[in-house]
């Protein structure tokens, strides 16, 4: 592949993706969940995740399915927040107020993590999606629309709809994208 007459090795694309994955993992674990040691991280075996693709209840997803024991992980994250080093804590217990500088820093890191996650979800499952396909990804059912991210046979898949051909064929094209 060439760009403006200069060779552009595919390996460089792979390196960029791997660097983004590492950055996203570091932000998630170190800055958002405050886990400094890799040995303290937990893993979720996607093969054991139970997901009901037909469940349309508002707020429902594989995260809320009791069989997947995600509620335990939520408590674990809350404990991490409460035991974080003082210089990272968002809540000042003595003053009973938010430490707004820390909250803004945290929100900035959360925004960066979401940006990386969006790019990775856009680039890793195959050909890049159109903007309208990638941005409305929901992990839980909403009031008017159902979620479109699922766990199927141990793989995360998000399903989007492409509406450009709807006028021609009478229905939107459904596009499943399996994340690696």
Contact 19, 121 (CB under 8 A): no
133 pLDDT band, cuts 50/70/90, is: low
**Distance between CA atoms of residues 18 and 68, nearest Å:** 28
pLDDT digits (tens, 9 = 90+) for 157-179: 988 877 666 667 777 778 888 88
pLDDT at res. 124: 86
Domain count, the chain: 1
**Distance between CA atoms of residues 137 and 166, nearest Å:** 20
Q: What's the mean pLDDT in 33-47?
A: 88
Q: What's the mean pLDDT in 114-139?
A: 79
Dihedral angle sign, alpha carbons of residues 70, 75, 76, 77: positive
**Distance between CA atoms of residues 41 and 130, nearest Å:** 34
pLDDT digits (tens, 9 = 90+) for 55-70: 888 988 888 888 888 8
Tell me the residue range of the domain where 9 lies: 2-178
To the nearest 10°, report the CA torsion of 64, 66, 72, 73: -40
Q: What's the mean pLDDT in 144-150?
A: 86
């Amino acid at each position: 592949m060439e760009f403006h007459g200069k060779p552009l090795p595919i390996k460089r694309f792979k390196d960029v993706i791997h660097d983004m994955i590492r950055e996203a993992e570091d932000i998630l674990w170190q800055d958002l969940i405050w886990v400094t040691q890799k040995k303290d991280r937990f893993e979720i075996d996607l093969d054991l995740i139970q997901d009901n693709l037909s469940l349309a209840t508002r707020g429902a997803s594989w995260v809320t399915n009791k069989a997947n024991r995600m509620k335990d992980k939520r408590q674990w994250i809350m404990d991490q927040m409460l035991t974080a080093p003082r210089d990272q804590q968002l809540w000042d217990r003595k003053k009973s107020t938010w430490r707004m500088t820390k909250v803004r820093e945290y929100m900035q890191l959360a925004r960066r993590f979401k940006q990386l996650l969006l790019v990775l979800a856009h680039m890793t499952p195959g050909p890049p999606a159109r903007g309208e396909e990638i941005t409305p990804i929901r992990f839980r059912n909403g009031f008017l629309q159902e979620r479109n991210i699922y766990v199927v046979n141990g793989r995360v898949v998000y399903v989007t709809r492409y509406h450009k051909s709807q006028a021609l064929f009478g229905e939107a094209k459904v596009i499943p994208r399996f994340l690696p």
